[in-house]
Each structure stands twice: as C-alpha cells, then as structure tokens.
C-alpha cells in the first residue's frame, strides 16, 4: 500500500479537515526541547534515548503503551521551584497531577511539600514517608473519614472549602484533642484558563467561599471562634494551564485585601497565603510557559507591594504547582497497529492505547505533538490523526500531527508532555489495562507503577 504525503492543506474546501494545524515542521526527526523532557534526545543513528536509555529497548522491556518519566528532569524542576521561591516560601506539589510512592520520596528529598485531595493520595503520601506536617489536604467535599485520617496523622494544613467543613474539621480536631492548622479557600473573582483571563461568572463554581459576597469574611469570623482550629491563612486557586501572570496578580491583591480586612476587624494578622497552582506548560512549541523564577518574582513582588501599602507584615507564601513539575517530564510510548489513509483528507494512525491513558484530548480538546521514535525517517510529512483502540470515534490522542509518510505498523510513537493528568486520570474503559509508569535515570529504568493485569481487573469483579 502506498501512502502519499499530504501537503499543508487540502485541495478542496469541501474536504477541509477540521483542526488548526501548523504547517509541517521542516525536520520531522527533530525533538523540540520545548516539549520533550530534559534528557530525551535523538542520537545520530536516528534512535531516541531518555535518561541514557534507548526507547526501542525500553519498549521491548516494558511493553507499550507505557509512560516513561525522566527522573532527572522531575528532580531538576523540583529544585528550580524550590530555589525560585527560597526559604521564605513553600512549594506544595499538587499530587493530583501524578502521585506514586517514588514521587513522594523524590519530593521529600528535594524539599517540596505535598498537596493531597483524597484519602488515597494521603495514604500514598504517608506510606512513602512524607512528613505529615508537610502535607496539605484539599477538596470541596472531604469526608469525615478523610478529615479524621488527616487530623490524626497531623497534617500541616487543611484547606477549608465550605461552612459545613469548618464545623466538621473543628469537631474532629476537638474529639482528637488537636488544634488543626487551617486555611480558608476563597474565590477571588478571577478565573484564568489557557490564555484567557475571564473576570466574570467566576464565583459560579463549587469550590471555595467568595470574597465578593462576604462569605469568605464570614468564614474567617466562624473559624476564629473555634478552639479546635488555628487559622493560618487564606488560599486561592484560579485555574489551570495559565500563562498570563495577570490573573495571579489580581488574586494576590484580593487575598491581601482580605488579610487587611481581617486585621482591621479582628486585630489578627494571618501569617500565610497560598496562591494555588495552575501554571502552564508547553504541550506544543506554540506554548510559552513562564519559568519558576519569573513566577516567584511576580508573585513575591505583588504580595510584598500590597502588604506594604496596607501596613501588613508580609505573610509566608505558598504555591501548588502540579502540571508544571511533572507534566513535561514524561512521554507516553505507543506502538502503531493500523494505518488508514483517507485520500485528500488525513491518515488515521491507531495506537495500542488511547483515551484510557490520555483522556485530555477528548475531554478538553487538549493539543499534543507526537514523534516517530523507533527510527528516523526521511519520508514526506503526512497529515495524521493519532487515535486509540477504544470503541468510540472521540478516542483521539493527537488531533492533528505530521508524521512521516512511511509510517508502518510496529513503529513506535511517543507523545510528550503527558506526565500530568494522564496516568492520574487513566481509566479501564473497554477493560483496558492501565499502563505502567517507568522512571528512567542515568542509564537505568525501573517501574514505579506497574502495568495492570487481567487479574487486577478480575479481582475487583467479585461475581
Ligand atoms: N491546587 C489546587 C487547589 C488545585 O485544584 C489544582 C488543580 C492544583 C493546585 C494544581 O494545578 P496544576 O498546577 O497542576 O495545574 N485535569 C485537568 C486539571 C485539573 C486541575 C485541578 N486542580 C487537566 O488535565 O488539565
């Protein structure tokens, strides 16, 4: 079967493919360092290595689909965040992006704290030895059991999300004879998502207590009256995959505004503020994320300035990056199974995974890039759509991509920047077995989350 290359666009408007793809890259073999993890490179013989390991060998040893996580890159990003924020601030890694015991150990060693949002994440953190005082518990509907587990363990922070929760946490703390440090999560009236900065309709959401209608101030009043709770600060998280610092600046200003009100009303200066996570990463070379030191400077400056003008001492700042730490450090490796060419339109390339290991394309219309990594190719670029093996047409991994026209079953494709919210949101749809996560570093690879087996699936099915 011959597969012709498709030039940058279709010839007829009536077969115009949907999507907004850029023209084909000049060199399909190049691995753009903006989207690949630090140690991923193509060698002169055309093979690709990560952490000093040959990717085709990794596929043989660990199978596909699989996530390969560049441990050196992960640790370097942790260190960059720590160094940028310095001793006067705390960096809480958001475990929802991807959490495993190995990750917890790396975080512990690199001096990061950890934000968890469920009993499962908390159990993983404690089991792998994260000191409880470095853990923060989040969630808009924490169960009493989750609260008990957290208070009993002695977590350093519970972020209160509702009036009901204030009472629940206070009861648990009292019963266990503890005084639990808490922050109050407020909605500041900005919601920022990918390149957008929307200043309306933001309080209309399930999280937090609004500043605008006085709920946040009322929450402060209630918490300050309860002996079991020690109010340490105010928390705000404004969205995901954010590139523009303007939303954070508004958020910081409004949070400091509340600290000022609290001082004026109660004579109390709260010692902490947390500005959440949400910092964007490059999924494609068009994305232009901020570096940790730029983020730290922008946030530090605005908090300092606002506090000085309000006559407040500067509180201890914390942030909660998840995606920005783990996202760029992993790629998903797939094997090509079938290749279906639609003349004049595009070529559908089916891989051995799909929406069960990366739901983000189907769910958020997320954009990814993809490269042939088992060999180099000099073939023409072919407009392709990388799809999975699940039983629905929305099962798309990479909507629009150029791949070499000699692509064939058995070739290996890698999709970079899948470290965040891919394994953590993976499912067993169609009874797919969730892929392993393999950490690679300095010429060694080890499984940190193993591949699911049919026995795992059947064990849950108790007949
Ligand atoms: N802190 C809080 C309170 C959060 O709710 C989140 C994310 C973070 C920190 C970390 O945000 P990050 O730095 O990772 O963007 N499943 C979606 C993302 C949902 C994020 C939910 N909260 C995705 O795949 O894009």
Q: What confidence tens digit (pLDDT) does each residue in 115-137 have?
A: 999 999 999 999 999 999 999 99
Q: Is 386 a residue whose pLDDT tops 90? A: yes
CATH 3.40.1260.10 for domain 138-321, yes or no, is no
Helix (H, G, I), strand (E, B) or coil at 296: helix
Test site for ligand 1: of 195, 237, 281, 328, most ligand atoms within 8 A of the Cβ: 237
Provide the CB-side half-sphere exposure for 3 (13 A, CA): 23
Residue 242 DSSP class: B
Mean pLDDT of 421-447: 98
Q: Residue 24 has what pLDDT?
A: 80
Q: Is 222 a residue whose pLDDT tops 80? A: yes
Give me the active site residues, please. Answer: 391
Q: How many Å lie between the centroid of ligand 1 and the Cα of residue 278?
A: 6
Test site for ligand 1: of 277, 330, 357, 361, most ligand atoms within 8 A of the Cβ: 277
Q: Residue 242 has what pLDDT?
A: 92
Q: How many Å lie between the centroid of ligand 1 and the Cα of residue 456?
A: 28
What angle do helix axes 119-127 and 101-110 make, rounded to 10 degrees?
A: 60
Stretch(es) of the chain classified as CATH 3.20.20.10: 138-321
CA distance 354 to 365: 14
Stretch(es) of the chain classified as CATH 2.40.37.10: 41-70+328-460
What residues are paired with 115 via a beta bridge? 94, 136
pLDDT band of 15, cuts 50, 70, 90: very low
Q: Which fold has domain 41-70+328-460?
A: Lyase, Ornithine Decarboxylase; Chain A, domain 1 (2.40.37)
Contacts of 281-284 with CB under 8 Å at 24 or more apart are 281/241, 281/323, 281/324, 281/327, 281/328, 281/417, 281/420, 282/34, 282/35, 282/328, 282/417, 283/35, 283/366, 283/367, 283/368, 283/369, 283/417, 284/35, 284/367, 284/368, 284/369
Q: Is 332 a residue whose pLDDT tops 80? A: yes
Hey, what are 334's tokens?
């797939």
CA distance 196 to 202: 13
What angle do helix axes 292-310 and 71-85 make, rounded to 10 degrees?
A: 20
Q: Is 155 a residue whose pLDDT tops 90? A: yes
Mean pLDDT of 285-309: 96
Q: Residue 378 has what pLDDT?
A: 96
Mean pLDDT of 301-320: 97
Q: How many Å lie between the centroid of ligand 1 and the Cα of residue 98?
A: 11
Q: Is 238 a residue whose pLDDT tops 70? A: yes
Per the document, the length of the chain is 463
Q: Residue 461 has what pLDDT?
A: 96
Nearest to 225 by CA among 266, 256, 272, 255: 266
Bond prior to 65 in cis (omega within 30° of 0): yes
Q: Residue 8 has what pLDDT?
A: 40
Q: Is 32 a residue whose pLDDT tops 90? A: yes
CA distance 423 to 92: 20
Query: Does the pTM exceed 0.85?
Result: yes
What average pLDDT is seen over the chain?
A: 93
Question: Using a 6 Å CB cutoff, which residues line ligand 1?
Answer: 94, 96-97, 115, 138, 237, 240-241, 276-279, 320-324, 360, 364, 420-421
CA distance 361 to 351: 15
Mean pLDDT of 38-66: 97
**Percent of the chain, pLDDT > 70?**
93
Q: Is 41 a residue whose pLDDT tops 50? A: yes
By the 8 A CB rule, do 61 and 54 touch?
no
Q: What confidence tens digit (pLDDT) does each residue in 135-147 have?
A: 999 999 999 999 9
Mean pLDDT of 17-38: 83
Q: Residue 25 has what pLDDT?
A: 80
Q: How many Å lie between the centroid of ligand 1 and the Cα of residue 405?
A: 37
By the 8 A CB rule, do 71 and 439 touch?
yes
């Amino acid at each position: 079967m011959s597969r012709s290359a498709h030039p940058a666009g279709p010839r007829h408007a009536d077969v115009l493919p949907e999507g907004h793809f850029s023209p084909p890259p000049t060199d399909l073999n190049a691995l753009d360092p903006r989207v690949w993890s630090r140690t991923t490179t193509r060698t002169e013989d055309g093979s690709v290595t990560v952490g000093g390991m040959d990717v085709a060998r990794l596929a043989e040893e660990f199978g596909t689909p699989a996530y390969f996580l560049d441990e050196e890159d992960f640790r370097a990003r942790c260190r960059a965040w720590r160094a940028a924020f310095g001793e006067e601030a705390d960096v809480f890694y958001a475990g929802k992006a991807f959490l495993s015991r190995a990750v917890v150990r790396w975080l512990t060693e690199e001096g990061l704290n950890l934000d968890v949002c469920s009993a499962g994440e908390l159990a993983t953190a404690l089991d792998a030895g994260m000191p409880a005082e470095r853990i923060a518990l989040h969630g808009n509907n924490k169960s009493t059991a989750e609260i008990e587990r957290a208070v009993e363990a002695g977590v350093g922070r519970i972020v209160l999300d509702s009036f009901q929760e204030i009472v629940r946490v206070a009861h648990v703390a009292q019963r266990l004879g503890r005084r639990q440090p808490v922050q109050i999560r407020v909605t500041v009236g900005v919601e920022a998502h990918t390149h957008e900065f929307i200043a309306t309709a933001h309080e209309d959401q399930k999280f937090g207590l609004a500043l605008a209608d006085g709920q946040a101030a009322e929450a402060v009043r209630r918490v300050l009256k309860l002996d079991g709770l020690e109010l340490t600060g105010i928390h705000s998280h404004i969205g995901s995959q954010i590139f523009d610092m303007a939303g954070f600046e508004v958020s910081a200003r409004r949070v400091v505004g509340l600290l000022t009100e609290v001082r004026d009303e109660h004579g109390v200066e709260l010692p902490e503020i947390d500005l959440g996570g949400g910092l964007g990463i490059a999924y494609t070379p068009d994305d232009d994320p901020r570096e940790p030191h730029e983020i730290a400077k922008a946030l530090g400056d605005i908090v300092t300035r606002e506090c000085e003008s309000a006559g407040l001492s500067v509180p201890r700042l914390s942030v909660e990056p998840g995606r920005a730490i783990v996202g760029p450090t992993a790629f998903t490796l797939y094997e090509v199974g079938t290749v279906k060419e639609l003349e004049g339109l595009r070529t559908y390339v089916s891989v051995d995974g799909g929406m069960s290991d990366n739901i983000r394309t189907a769910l958020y219309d997320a954009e990814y890039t993809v490269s042939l990594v088992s060999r180099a190719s000099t073939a023409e670029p072919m407009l392709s759509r990388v799809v999975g093996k699940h039983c629905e047409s929305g099962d798309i991994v990479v909507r629009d991509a150029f791949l070499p026209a000699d692509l064939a079953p058995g070739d290996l494709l890698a999709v970079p920047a899948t470290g965040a919210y891919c394994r953590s949101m993976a499912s067993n749809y169609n009874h797919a077995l969730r892929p392993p996560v393999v950490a690679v570093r300095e010429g060694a690879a080890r499984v940190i989350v193993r591949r699911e087996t049919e026995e795992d699936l059947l064990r849950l099915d108790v007949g």
